[in-house]
Chains A and B, each alone.
Chain A
């Protein structure tokens, strides 16, 4: 590993300045958005400059400073950039800039956009800390920071009770996950003696040291990180916050809940990959959890009526794909999907925002229809996004999903593969269902009739992201087509060891590729044919109800977890708080009052009686001294 010193801290600090400027000076529109966009863009330019210095096997290190020290534990505020994280850095700041630009127009009619942009820039800062920190403590700082910003932005329109509740749900669910991160962090400090990622990785590469620690430590560490990832990256059982998080403004959904924050679980996984690769059982668990998540979310998405909810469940499902790739031992494939997904899901969310804007804040796709003629640019953008996520040939999703499916088939066999394939086909189905209901057919309501195309400032990011969604897949062409694999070579250079690779035969790969492609094309055409004329009259059978009501997961959680906790809280507040602590305080207060009343008898007010007490007191002391 070739270590080069470089200054990375400004990449992080500039968005922070943007946040502070917006927060303190309450700039007017459009300056608030422009300042925020400029800050994010400056960060992007610096990222690009740093990226150009990278090569596989190079590590840019910003030594930073000693943050704190406790005993033998030293925690540095220092940053590093590997070729792997460099790619993510460009995604965060690049897609971030586009979304900021979009939001400048999107939020311009809001009451207090400066608050929005202050949060948004703060989010970018926290995400960069998460991505760049050398130390797991720093990563945790970013991890919590993005959680806070997510909470603030989901509840941005806090006048409505539902939004605040969604924000709290997201925050609390994430806190439950964060416990796993803390647990892993403590394990690392206790047993590895360090929390710096690179030091942990060298540590575990040494078999003699590994023999000294109990055998449960490594699986427990891996499980802790995975538990944290199920929270932040919305996997079973903690995914429930993500669909509700759609209460936030749409640029937030695009940036935080599709492109960057929700992938942070995968980022931490990939950074610590040498550790996870030794934990086969944990990876098995990761794989099946991911498959279940991908399938469950896809099944929910096919019946949803809210455009953003469809996209939210789609995000959960796609995150399931990424974790399935991790579970199948293919971190590069997972990360490739992170990158492509960031492009097309951000595109889809932003387009959805444009549509919702044009529809005057109506989100129900059953009320749309025929927007193809009203909003031609948004139509093209959404179509591109659908095509990319469904994995039509030569789009971004085609390349990334194909690798994941092949890896899963290779290492997990037919069962896992077919379940994931079903999820992929469902993806194609529900995306084109939402496309057909939104854009095809005739306008079904007044609002759809009077929908209007959005401003150019909104359309430009859509066009850039459309181009990216179509092209970014070519970073990694299937090896059966071309022997050069840019993306893998680039990313794998950030580890000092080789990934185990067993290639399938060329014929099998062709077969897998054609099954997935034909399947998704068929699902797409089926969806368009079924829904282009409008919503189909639903026969409300049990399966449909299950899917439409999200398999009652929220209700089950509410019944078995939230309510018992609430009852416990009420019980504690009445028994312990009211009776125990308050009662105790009141009791001791009464004691003081009574003893005070008793003692005040001696307070006669007569000087001579006081003098008498003094004399008696002195005599008493004298007598006691005589006794001793």
Chain B
């Protein structure tokens, strides 16, 4: 018998894994960013479910922070993408290797 909690956690794991694979495999930076968002959403689900299991507001309040940071991150990343695109005319991730050691 699969409970609601198990279902939600399963969905969260699937979201996180899909996000990870997306981030690791997609060449386009915007799609990779989408993968990150997916991962964050998976984590948010876990947080909400954990809060419900413990019967307190800690999980949901922590989720609010994650949403906040994700929004900021998305705004920042998109603006960087705009600049990069204007400068180089493409957003292919593997072509940006200036941090190579």
**Which A residues are within 8 Å of any B CB, using their own CB?**
600, 602-608, 611-612, 615
List 24 A-B pairs, Cβ < 8 Å: A600-B101, A602-B101, A603-B99, A604-B100, A605-B96, A605-B98, A605-B99, A605-B100, A605-B101, A606-B93, A606-B94, A606-B96, A606-B97, A607-B32, A607-B96, A608-B24, A608-B25, A608-B93, A608-B94, A611-B20, A611-B23, A612-B24, A615-B20, A615-B24
> Least Cβ distance of B29 to chain A in Å?
9
A603-B101 Cα distance, complex, nearest whole Å = 5
**Which B residues are within 8 Å of any A CB, using their own CB?**
20, 23-25, 32, 93-94, 96-101
Name A608's contact: one of B32, B98, B99, B101 (CB within 8 Å): B32
A600-B93 Cα distance, complex, nearest whole Å = 20
| Apart from A606-B93, A611-B24, 12 more pairs, CB < 8 Å | A600-B101, A603-B99, A603-B100, A604-B97, A605-B97, A605-B98, A605-B99, A607-B96, A608-B32, A608-B94, A612-B24, A615-B24
Say whether B23 contacts A608, CB under 8 Å. Answer: yes
- B25, B32, B99 interface centre (most CB from chain A within 10 Å): B99
Q: Which residues of B contact A605 (CB under 8 A)?
A: 96-101
> Least Cβ distance of A153 to chain B in Å?
61
- B94 to A, closest residue via Cβ: A606
- B35 to A, closest residue via Cβ: A611
8 smallest beta-carbon distances between A and B, as pairs: A603-B101, A605-B100, A605-B97, A600-B101, A605-B99, A608-B24, A606-B94, A612-B24
- B95 to A, closest residue via Cβ: A606
Q: Which residues of A contact B96 (CB under 8 A)?
A: 605-607
Chain A contact surface mostly? helix
> Least Cβ distance of B99 to chain A in Å?
4
Q: Which residues of A contact B23 (CB under 8 A)?
A: 608, 611
- B100 to A, closest residue via Cβ: A605
A506-B93 Cα distance, complex, nearest whole Å = 117
A607-B98 Cα distance, complex, nearest whole Å = 10
- A612 to B, closest residue via Cβ: B24
A15-B24 Cα distance, complex, nearest whole Å = 81
Q: Which residues of B contact A615 (CB under 8 A)?
A: 20, 24
Q: Which residues of A contact B101 (CB under 8 A)?
A: 600, 602-603, 605
Q: Which residues of B contact A611 (CB under 8 A)?
A: 20, 23-24
A604-B98 Cα distance, complex, nearest whole Å = 9
A309-B97 Cα distance, complex, nearest whole Å = 80
> Least Cβ distance of A299 to chain B in Å?
78
- A615 to B, closest residue via Cβ: B20
> Least Cβ distance of B38 to chain A in Å?
13
> Least Cβ distance of B26 to chain A in Å?
9
A602-B100 Cα distance, complex, nearest whole Å = 9
- A602 to B, closest residue via Cβ: B101
A611-B93 Cα distance, complex, nearest whole Å = 13
Q: Which residues of A contact B98 (CB under 8 A)?
A: 605
- B24, B32, B96 interface centre (most CB from chain A within 10 Å): B24
Q: Which residues of A contact B94 (CB under 8 A)?
A: 606, 608
- B101 to A, closest residue via Cβ: A603
Q: Which residues of B contact A602 (CB under 8 A)?
A: 101
Q: Which residues of B contact A600 (CB under 8 A)?
A: 101
- B21 to A, closest residue via Cβ: A615
Q: Which residues of B contact A612 (CB under 8 A)?
A: 24
Q: Which residues of A contact B99 (CB under 8 A)?
A: 603, 605
> Least Cβ distance of A599 to chain B in Å?
8
A608-B94 Cα distance, complex, nearest whole Å = 8
A367-B99 Cα distance, complex, nearest whole Å = 83
Q: Which residues of A contact B97 (CB under 8 A)?
A: 604-606
- A603 to B, closest residue via Cβ: B101
> Least Cβ distance of B37 to chain A in Å?
14
- B36 to A, closest residue via Cβ: A611
> Least Cβ distance of B94 to chain A in Å?
6
- A604 to B, closest residue via Cβ: B100
Q: Which residues of B contact A604 (CB under 8 A)?
A: 97, 100
Q: Which residues of A contact B93 (CB under 8 A)?
A: 606-608
A600-B97 Cα distance, complex, nearest whole Å = 14
A602-B93 Cα distance, complex, nearest whole Å = 17
A602-B99 Cα distance, complex, nearest whole Å = 11
A600-B99 Cα distance, complex, nearest whole Å = 11
> Least Cβ distance of A339 to chain B in Å?
80
Q: Which residues of B contact A607 (CB under 8 A)?
A: 32, 93, 96
- A608, A611, A615 interface centre (most CB from chain B within 10 Å): A608
> Least Cβ distance of A60 to chain B in Å?
76
> Least Cβ distance of B47 to chain A in Å?
18
> Least Cβ distance of A242 to chain B in Å?
67
A608-B96 Cα distance, complex, nearest whole Å = 11
> Least Cβ distance of A598 to chain B in Å?
11
A41-B6 Cα distance, complex, nearest whole Å = 100
A600-B101 Cα distance, complex, nearest whole Å = 6
A557-B45 Cα distance, complex, nearest whole Å = 89
A607-B93 Cα distance, complex, nearest whole Å = 8
A606-B93 Cα distance, complex, nearest whole Å = 7
Q: Which residues of B contact A603 (CB under 8 A)?
A: 99-101
- B32, B96, B101 interface centre (most CB from chain A within 10 Å): B101
A603-B32 Cα distance, complex, nearest whole Å = 20
- A599 to B, closest residue via Cβ: B101
> Least Cβ distance of A540 to chain B in Å?
80
> Least Cβ distance of A167 to chain B in Å?
56
Q: Which residues of A contact B100 (CB under 8 A)?
A: 603-605
> Least Cβ distance of B98 to chain A in Å?
6
A612-B20 Cα distance, complex, nearest whole Å = 9
- A602, A603, A611 interface centre (most CB from chain B within 10 Å): A611
> Least Cβ distance of B6 to chain A in Å?
20
A606-B94 Cα distance, complex, nearest whole Å = 6
A347-B20 Cα distance, complex, nearest whole Å = 98
A600-B100 Cα distance, complex, nearest whole Å = 8
A612-B94 Cα distance, complex, nearest whole Å = 13
A356-B15 Cα distance, complex, nearest whole Å = 103
